[in-house]
Structure 1
C-alpha cells in the first residue's frame, strides 16, 4: 500500500484481488492535481488489469480534477487497463454530468459494487 498526503488531498492505493484501488480524499482541483495524477499514473502502470478510483470521500471536484480523471482514462485505455470510478454523491456526479464526461466512465456506488461488477 502506498500513501501520498498533501494538505488538501490524501491518495492511498491498495490491491483488491486483481484490481488496484486508489482512494482519493479531499479536494481534487488545480492545487492537488499533480499529487492525484502521479498516484493514479502509478496505479495504471502497476500491472493490475483493473484500477478502481474511489472518489467517495472527495469534497470538491474541479475542472482540473476532471482533466486528471480523463487523462487517467486515456492512459488506462491505451494500456488495456479497465478503469472504474466509485462515487455516487453529487460532488462527483454533477461535474461529470455538466462536462458531458459521465458516459466516458463506468461509475459505481461503492468499491465492493465495482469489484462485484468485474465478476458479472
Structure 2
C-alpha cells in the first residue's frame, strides 16, 4: 500500500467514525436522551447513568433517541429493556426513536419491537404522548420471557429431551 492509499483509507475511516455522546433535553413532561455513536461495552456505563438520572426526574417519562446511533450491542438492548421495565414499574412512559438499520435490526431480530415502544422520530413520540388517550401499552406476552433471558442472575441450565427434534437441547428450570 502506498502512502496515498493509506492516507485515503484513513480519511474514509475517519469520516465513518462518530464519537459517542449523550445529550439530555426536556420537552413538556418528557426527558429525551439522544445517543450519538456506538452503544457497546465501552459506552454502556454513561448510557446507564444517563437513564438513571432521567428516572430521578419527576415525571420520569423517558424517550431514548437512537436516530444518530451507529451501533447497538446486546448490552444496549439490555439497558433499553431494563429502562422499559423500570418505567413500567413506576407508571411512566418509555419509548425508543430509531429509524436506522444499525439500531432497528438488532431490536427486531430479538422481537423486542413487541416489548419496546418503537417510533421513527422523536416528534412522532412527543405528538403521540401529547394525546390524552395515550397511556403505556399493555404488557406483552414476551415480557416474562425477555425478563428471564436478560436477568442478571445466572439461570440453572439442565439438559432435557425434546420430542420435536429428537435430541438433547439446553433448557432453563
Tell me, yes or no, whether TM beats 0.5. yes
Equivalent in 16, 22, 42 of residue 11 of structure 1: 22
Does the 8 Å contact 2:60/2:87 carry over to 1? no
Q: Distance in 1 between matches of 2:23 and 2:60?
A: 18
TM-score, length basis structure 1: 0.88
Segments of 4+ moved more than 6 angstroms: none
Equivalent in 93, 116, 119 of residue 104 of structure 2: 93
Calculate the aligned-residue CA RMSD, in Å. 1.4
Equivalent in 59, 62, 83 of residue 51 of structure 1: 62
> Which 5+ residue runs of structure 2 have no aligned equivalent?
1-17, 132-173
Deviations 1:3-33 (A, max 9, x none): xxxx952111111011111111111111111
Instruction: Find the counterpart in structure 1 of residue 118 from structure 2.
Output: 107
Does the 8 Å contact 2:54/2:60 carry over to 1? no
Which structure features the higher share of strand residues? 1
TM-score, length basis structure 2: 0.62
Q: Distance in 2 between matches of 1:119 and 1:98?
A: 30
- Deviation, 1:49, is 4.2
Which has the higher Rg, Structure 1 or Structure 2? Answer: 2
Between the two proteins, the alignment pairs up a number of residues equal to 114
> Which 5+ residue runs of structure 1 have no aligned equivalent?
1-6
Instruction: Find the counterpart in structure 1 of residue 158 from structure 2.
Output: none
Equivalent in 81, 84, 89 of residue 92 of structure 2: 81
Instruction: Find the counterpart in structure 2 of residue 3 from structure 1.
Output: none
- Deviation, 1:48, is 2.4
